Amino acid sequence: MSTTVWVLTILGAALILSFDFALAYFNRNRETSLRAAVSWTLFYVSLAVVFGISLSHWATAQARSEFFAGWVTEYSLSFDNLFVFILILARLKVAKEKEELVLLIGIVSSLFLRGIFIAAGSAVVNRWSWIFFFFGAFLIYTAISLIRESEEEEWHEGRLISFIRTKGASTFVVALVAIATTNVLFAFDSIPAIFGLTKNPYIIVTANIFALMGLRQLYFLIGGLMAKLIYLTEGLSLILGFIGLKLVFEAAESQGWHSIIGIHIPKISLQASLAFILGVLATTTVVSLFKSRKAAK
């Protein structure tokens, strides 16, 4: 992508985030209504869809496919991110009217951290192709760890949070620090995952930006829905495990390996990846809602 495209994209994202920040600040003493949460969530999702479709007109069809695969993956991982946010804000008993501002600052910090990891990841990938073995193994390990998690997930304060509490920090500050530290952990999962779908820095950046836009409003929308998506963790583990295997296969191919112990190494297309991700998310949602409805009866 040209420098002009990069500049326009960053300026556009900064403008939208600034508007969102101003909105959260002016509404900091009011609870977000369900109607407002639905409207803004649909707006940001529509914005991402329009952007993705437009890529085929001024970029390439391949860029469009990579964007949607990356955006859907990052957006699905954001649900898990939001679940932890819900746990943190509930555990710290943050006032409802303060949640909006805490969430927005947390999302901005997440964008900043991911930007650093994307830049570092691109530099490493361009220099050492074997690093995908590490990325793939890390995602597979994360997928296995997710499956092993208990159904009753809890958030525990770390030493940093406990330390700033003893120094008299307000609940607002403690929540910001807690969310910022968890954002670091989520960035370690999300960046290798999207590198398994595209190596285009522009697509990686824009997919992450659009995946994080509107999370503040989505938080208020899915607060009750999260309890019904009981198989979300299993679905995300399948997606991460799949992308991890894809990365390992690509790393082997970059080293000139075409088979391992006589077994041919398959080449997984982007279309197959996107179909698998959408299929898992759709199946997870339907089965979760069916199970929750059955349990309620």
Lowest mean pLDDT among 58-67, 77-86, 190-199, 278-287: 77-86
Integer-rounded Cα radius of gyration of the chain = 20
Would you call 22 helix, strand, or coil by DSSP? helix
Distance between CA atoms of residues 222 and 224, nearest Å: 5
pLDDT at 250 over 50: yes
- To the question of pTM greater than 0.85 for the whole model, the response is no
Q: What is the pLDDT of residues 8-30, one digit of tens each?
A: 888 988 888 788 778 777 776 77
Q: pLDDT digits over 177-199, tens only?
A: 777 777 766 777 677 788 878 88
Confidence of residue 223 (pLDDT cuts 50, 70, 90): low
CA distance 141 to 152: 21
Note the pLDDT of residue 159: 61
Predicted confidence at residue 49, as pLDDT, reads 92
Domain ranges of the chain: 3-286
pLDDT value of residue 141: 81
260 strand-pairing partners: 263
Flag whether pLDDT at 172 surpasses 60: yes
Q: How many residues does the chain have?
A: 297
Q: What is the pLDDT of residue 80?
A: 66
- Cα(293)–Cα(289) distance, rounded to whole angstroms? 6
Higher per-residue confidence, 145 vs 64 = 64
Can you tell me the distance from the alpha carbon of 223 to that of 86, in angstroms, rounded to the nearest whole number? 7
Percent of the chain with pLDDT over 70: 79
Chain Cα centroid distance, residue 58: 26
Could you report the per-residue pLDDT of 69-111, keeping only the tens digit for each? 888 888 877 776 676 777 777 777 777 667 777 777 777 777 7
Q: Residue 51: is its pLDDT beyond 80?
A: yes
- Max distance between CA atoms of the chain, in angstroms, equals 64
